[in-house]
Amino acid sequence: MPVREAEVADAEEICALIEEHARYEGNDELVLDRAEMTKHLFGPEPKAWVLIASPPGRPEVVAGMAFCSWNFSTWEARPGIWLDDLFVRPDHRRHGLGGELLAALRARTAGRVEWEMKEGNERAAAFYAQLGAEPVPGWTKYRWSPEQ
Q: How many domains does the chain have?
A: 1
In a domain, 137, yes or no: no
- Show Cβ contacts of residue 24 under 8 Å, excluding neighbours closer than 6 positions: 87, 90
Give residue 143's pLDDT.
80
pTM (two decimals): 0.91
Domain range for 95 is 3-131
Mean predicted confidence (pLDDT) in 66-94: 95
Residue 60 lies in a domain: yes
Q: How many CB atoms lie within 10 A of CB 32?
A: 15
Burial of 36 (0-12, 13-18, 19+ CB in 10 A): exposed
pLDDT at 20 over 80: yes
Predicted local confidence at residue 59, as pLDDT: 87
Q: What pLDDT does residue 62 have?
A: 95
Q: Is 142 a catalytic residue?
A: no
Burial of 82 (0-12, 13-18, 19+ CB in 10 A): middle
Per the domain annotation, does 142 fall within a domain? no
Where does the pLDDT of residue 32 fall: very low under 50, low under 70, confident under 90, or very high at 90 and above? very high
Residue 39 lies in a domain: yes
Which residue is catalytic, options 128, 140, 144, 148? 128
- The pLDDT > 90 percentage for the chain reads 78
CATH code (residue 7): 3.40.630.30
